[in-house]
């Protein structure tokens, strides 16, 4: 059930979450999405095209950030819109630790129609990796 309109106010923070992405996650995501671009699994190719190392799929990063909203909603169908701009890559090292993304979010506006705008911030290694990350949700 989505949060109740009466219980949500502008500035309210959603519970932040951290997500770890490993090279094995990239392989699984490539299989599920069909995105087998070599920059997501081959360090030699990634560095040859100017990247520092293998990078996570942008859509994987976007999906993980979106979980902060859908987990808060308890009803993924209450997510009406979601968009981001990809501003920096998430570098995934070839180790067991992987890369950690931290996502925070807050209610930036509540509209008269019972919807709320959620502003998200996703960071990796101290830098924001998603720009203009925003969701529109239906409140109950």
The domain segmentation of the chain, as residue ranges, is 5-21+59-138
Token pair of 104, please? Answer: 């925070």
Q: What is the pLDDT of residue 7?
A: 87
Q: What is the pLDDT of residue 1?
A: 62
**Nearest by Cα to 120 from 41, 51, 62, 60:** 62
Reduced to 3 states, what is the DSSP secondary structure of residue 32?
Answer: helix
**Nearest by Cα to 137 from 16, 19, 4:** 4
Residues with pLDDT less than 50, the chain? none
Q: Are 107 and 9 in contact (CB under 8 A)?
A: yes
* Domain 5-21+59-138 listed as CATH 3.10.129.10: yes
């Amino acid at each position: 059930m989505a949060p109740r309109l009466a219980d949500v106010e502008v500035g309210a923070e959603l519970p932040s979450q951290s997500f770890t992405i490993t090279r094995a996650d990239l392989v699984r995501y490539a299989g599920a999405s069909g995105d087998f671009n070599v920059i997501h699994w081959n360090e030699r190719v990634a560095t040859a095209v100017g990247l520092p190392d293998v990078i996570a799929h942008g859509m994987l990063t976007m999906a993980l950030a979106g979980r902060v909203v859908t987990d808060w909603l308890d009803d993924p169908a209450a997510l009406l819109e979601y968009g981001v701009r990809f501003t920096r890559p998430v570098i995934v090292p070839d180790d067991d630790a992987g890369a950690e993304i931290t996502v925070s979010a807050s209610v930036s506006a509540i509209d008269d129609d019972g919807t709320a705008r959620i502003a998200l911030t996703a960071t990796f290694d101290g830098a924001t990796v998603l720009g203009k990350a925003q969701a529109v949700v239906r409140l109950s």
